[in-house]
A and B are shown apart, each in its own frame.
Chain A
Amino acid sequence: EDQVTQSPEALRLQEGESSSLNCSYTVSGLRGLFWYRQDPGKGPEFLFTLYSAGEEKEKERLKATLTKKESFLHITAPKPEDSATYLCAVKNYGQNFVFGPGTRLSVLP
């Protein structure tokens, strides 16, 4: 059964304090790994898609990387507006998406 776990469950950072979020997965044929940001009570907002080990994507203060077993979302010099839940999902060749439980990030000014 395909599974996604994320760590830590919650993370509190001071503004400017860089850190990384982890997404570990087991999947029967990885078609893609996806990162989303979700604000409370809203739908997930797409951030990145990664397709193969070694691939990296960047957007402003965020950088996503992928290995054969896990992905990292690196946050450099975060700001309070980066506070949100970050969701990781994998898609298998059966066309289904499996989401992790998310990491709740709080960035304090």
Chain B
Amino acid sequence: ETGVTQSPTHLIKTRGQQVTLRCSSQSGHNTVSWYQQALGQGPQFIFQYYREEENGRGNFPPRFSGLQFPNYSSELNVNALELDDSALYLCASSLGQGSSTDTQYFGPGTRLTVL
């Protein structure tokens, strides 16, 4: 069974640029969630995708957007980067709605630094 993978591992961008982060779900999982984790804090929910549709969104501005593909992999796009966007971005997959478990399994994360 393949776990959740994310790319790239690290990324450095400058303020105002755009970035795309990628995530491959664990085999058999149809739901993907994205989180932002600042240093020393718990993960903050950005949004969730279920079968290619956005299924919930946290308190993040519209410049944070996403996609889920038919193979259930996902992208997180952030436009007009700000210094406060520097964080560890985590992707988590789960079996989703109607399953017997809601447990999310996390990838290793992408460390984004905005200069």
State how many residues of chain A have any CB contact under 8 Å with chain B: 24
* Contact between chains at B97 and A44 (CB < 8 Å): no
Question: B90 near A: Cβ within 8 Å?
Answer: yes
A-B contact count (CB 8 A): 61
Q: Given B6, B42, B105, which contacts A46 in the complex, CB threshold below 8 Å?
A: B105
State how many residues of chain B have any CB contact under 8 Å with chain A: 28
A–B complex contacts, Cβ < 8 Å, 17 sampled: A41-B88, A43-B6, A43-B107, A44-B43, A44-B106, A45-B106, A46-B105, A49-B102, A87-B42, A87-B43, A91-B102, A96-B45, A96-B56, A96-B58, A99-B43, A99-B45, A102-B42
Q: A interface vs B, CB < 8 Å? A: 4, 31-32, 34, 36, 41-46, 49, 87, 89, 91, 94-102
